Structure 1
Amino acid sequence: MEMERFTFKTWLSGILAFLMLTVVGETSGTEKNMALSGIERQVKTEAPEQKTTRTPLHTAIENGDMALAERYVSEKKWINDRDVFGLTPLHFTVIRDNQRLVKKLLLAGADTSLADHRGDTPLHMVAAHQGPLEIAQMLLDGGANINAINQQGGTPLHWAAGEGNLALVGLFLQRGAKPDITDVKGETPLHWAVDSSRLDVVRHLLRAGADPGRINLSGRSPLHLAAKNGQLDIATLLIERGVDLGTRGVSGDTPLHWAAGQGNVDMVRLFSMRIRDLNPRAKHGETPLHWAVFRGHYDVAALLIASGADCNAMDALGKTPLQLARAKGHEKIVQLLLPRSTLNTVDRTQKPAPVPNI
């Protein structure tokens, strides 16, 4: 999810930068080329001649010549033509936040469903760069598909949620956006909102019926992400909504594993007060205590032990938290575990302890 967002945001930023540069008459050709290079790195063309597909209408919009652009639109010229990136004049206008021209394009027959080479419609772009609510409304009134998916399965609601745009999230849900629609990684808009620490959006999605326990293709629920990112308020909200604290990822990891591995004492306390099993096993047999010890998180280890975690639990290689603490050189944790551990445990292998995926 993060890589998809980073790639698209980089690409969109390149387009925005180029459009801004072309408005400034004194901008050098070198600067323009630098702006374009960010775009070209993200899009592979079939043939060099495709780079000539930008129309006079595209050019007028990118040059900020709205009078000329409006003239072309009134003549219905190049309304739905695409450039090398698959961008239509409507894409260009949305990126520029020009409400007046968006309205004229729609009246002239601009197709809101046309997507660029990444599968993004103009409505995706409004959401991705936090464009005006009014433009989103115009596009929807003009027939835009609220649940359109791009090549990564992302919808406008995914982007609005990830960017924390509460107004757009509210509009999209009101206009029929599916709160539990998933991208190619199985992630819902709620996953995106949690991963971006958007508490208000999380709250709004939950009120709209989003499933707080929906897992992605890695088996992880939004609570896993909240635990991983240290979002205590979001984790509390999800728990209040009845999410299962024992949900396991495909690697056997629970939210408690992530909280322990990240050294988040408050998060571990929140979980440990609400679950019975403090020793769930991940893929290699590690408990949350193993994860805390591996990272050297003394306070978390102490809290887990005080809450009843098993100090003698062995991972798949027969290593206890004490043996792991010694191997990692965490002497303070060694002293914490020593009086609480059975000393006759046997290491079943000479191989190094598996590295938790944290």
Structure 2
Amino acid sequence: MDDISEMDEDQLLDYVIRLSIEDSCKELPSTKPTSNSGEDEPQGGVLPPGPPSPGDTHTLEELCECPAAFGELDAGGWLPLHRAAVQPVKQVLKLVLDASYELNLEEKTLEGETALTLAVQAGHVENVKILLERGASPHNTNDKNESPLLLAIRIGSYELVSVLIENKALVDQVCLRHWTAMHEAAKVGCSDIAVLLLRNGARITHLTGHGVMPIGIAAEFGQTDVLDLLIQKGGDVNAQSYNGESVLYDAAGSGNPDCIDLLLQSGADPDVPSMSRHLPIHRAAYLGHYLALELLIQVTSRQAIAACGQSPVHSAADGGHVECLRLLIESGFDVNAILE
């Protein structure tokens, strides 16, 4: 293998680390390697003789004698520490950490990511363990206000979540739009992670910036297993957000009939309107969720619909859903209903 374009992902990552460091040393003539890999290469790097193999640490060991290089950003705004965090060879990360003693582990890329948030997003459990052992904070967020724990849940890694919790990550840390780890678990549908969070004290009543609890997020994204878990743990099936949208309204938006049926069986009220005077049946009709609409037609009272001043026929017509219109008409809804 004599061409960088023939490298696999692991080899290329090791290669990028070398180039990032050697670019900073500026001890050798500067040339720009070419790549057909589709990934950006650092500018002004020095092409080592022959492509590296995965986990080859010999060059890094030599470069450790030039510690100032480990504090220099490459053309992508990353330190060698950041590059080392996202490659899979833990010995590479250890060598870079040893040589980066003048830095703290919370240094960020130009995009606002720390070495720990990068390692978590890359799914490298061993790198995450090493960074935590060396003193990286499990609480510090990236510039998007996303914690390492939230990012681990986003990629669905139970192992990473366990490691972070064992290292005292805060299970109720507020991120994003007042979003917690439990909200993220509800969104991605990781019921096993949700159980782990609950065992470690996570609350199910925390509100997002829009006033939505995790049960509402599970309903909105059609995550039946997490929804069932939260109901079993006492989640309020009739909770409403700040704009009056109920959990059942959120479920109607997802179109998942299993979520809707579960909520109805658990006591959710289909006649609760939002502040815009819409019921779950209106949302299902507008979005064209036929199976959800079938369920809601059976349980929504005509009095509640009349009080809203709008028939679901209007909603289905506005959304352009012919099959939902046909279902509503066949169920006895007035095709000539007047919008109030």
TM more than 0.5 = yes
Instruction: Give the partner amino acid of 1:129.
Output: A
- 8 Å Cα contact 2:154/2:184 also seen in 1: yes
* Counterpart pick for 2:70 among 69, 79, 85: 79
Which residue in the other structure is 1:96 paired with?
A: 87
1:185-216 deviation digits (Å, cap 9, x = unpaired): 22112222222222221221121111222222
- 8 Å Cα contact 1:285/1:314 also seen in 2: no
Q: Residues 326 and 90 from structure 1, CA distance in 2 versus in 1: closer, same or farther, beyond 3 angstroms? A: closer
Which residue in the other structure is 1:19 paired with?
A: 13
- 8 Å Cα contact 1:79/1:89 also seen in 2: yes
Q: Distance in 2 between matches of 1:17 and 1:259?
A: 46
- Which 5+ residue runs of structure 1 have no aligned equivalent? 1-14, 38-50, 349-358
How far 1:169 moved relative to its partner? 0.7
Q: Distance in 1 between matches of 2:59 and 2:10?
A: 20
Percent of paired sites with the same residue: 24
Which residue in the other structure is 2:3 paired with?
A: none
Which residue in the other structure is 2:122 paired with?
A: 129
- 8 Å Cα contact 1:311/1:321 also seen in 2: no
Q: Residues 220 and 17 from structure 1, CA distance in 2 versus in 1: closer, same or farther, beyond 3 angstroms? A: farther
Cα RMSD (Å) of the superposition?
3.3
Q: Distance in 2 between matches of 1:315 and 1:19?
A: 63
DSSP-derived class of the 2:118 partner: helix
Q: Distance in 2 between matches of 1:331 and 1:17?
A: 59
How far 1:154 moved relative to its partner? 0.7
Q: Does 1:280 align with 2:272?
A: yes
* Counterpart pick for 1:256 among 222, 244, 248: 248
How far 1:289 moved relative to its partner? 1.3
Q: Residues 318 and 59 from structure 1, CA distance in 2 versus in 1: closer, same or farther, beyond 3 angstroms? A: farther
Q: Residues 262 and 114 from structure 1, CA distance in 2 versus in 1: closer, same or farther, beyond 3 angstroms? A: closer
What does residue range 234-253 of structure 1 map to in structure 2 within 5 Å?
234-253=226-245
Q: Residues 75 and 239 from structure 1, CA distance in 2 versus in 1: closer, same or farther, beyond 3 angstroms? A: same
- Which 5+ residue runs of structure 2 have no aligned equivalent? 1-8, 18-32
- 8 Å Cα contact 1:153/1:183 also seen in 2: yes
- 8 Å Cα contact 1:263/1:297 also seen in 2: yes
Which residue in the other structure is 2:260 paired with?
A: 268
DSSP-derived class of the 1:313 partner: helix
- 8 Å Cα contact 2:252/2:260 also seen in 1: yes
Q: Does 1:146 align with 2:138?
A: yes
State the aligned residue count: 309
DSSP-derived class of the 1:29 partner: coil
- 8 Å Cα contact 2:219/2:247 also seen in 1: yes
How far 1:22 moved relative to its partner? 6.2
DSSP-derived class of the 1:272 partner: helix
Which residue in the other structure is 1:295 paired with?
A: 287
Q: Residues 331 and 80 from structure 1, CA distance in 2 versus in 1: closer, same or farther, beyond 3 angstroms? A: same
Q: Residues 104 and 344 from structure 1, CA distance in 2 versus in 1: closer, same or farther, beyond 3 angstroms? A: closer
Q: Calculate the TM-score normalised by the size of structure 1.
A: 0.75
Q: Calculate the TM-score normalised by the size of structure 2.
A: 0.79
Which residue in the other structure is 1:117 paired with?
A: 110
Q: Distance in 1 between matches of 2:246 and 2:268?
A: 13
How far 1:346 moved relative to its partner? 4.3
* Counterpart pick for 1:31 among 18, 32, 36: 36
Which residue in the other structure is 2:29 paired with?
A: none
Instruction: Give the partner amino acid of 2:105.
Output: T
What does residue range 197-346 of structure 1 map to in structure 2 within 5 Å?
197-275=189-267, 277-307=269-299, 309-314=300-305, 318-325=309-316, 328=320, 329=322, 330-338=325-333, 346=338
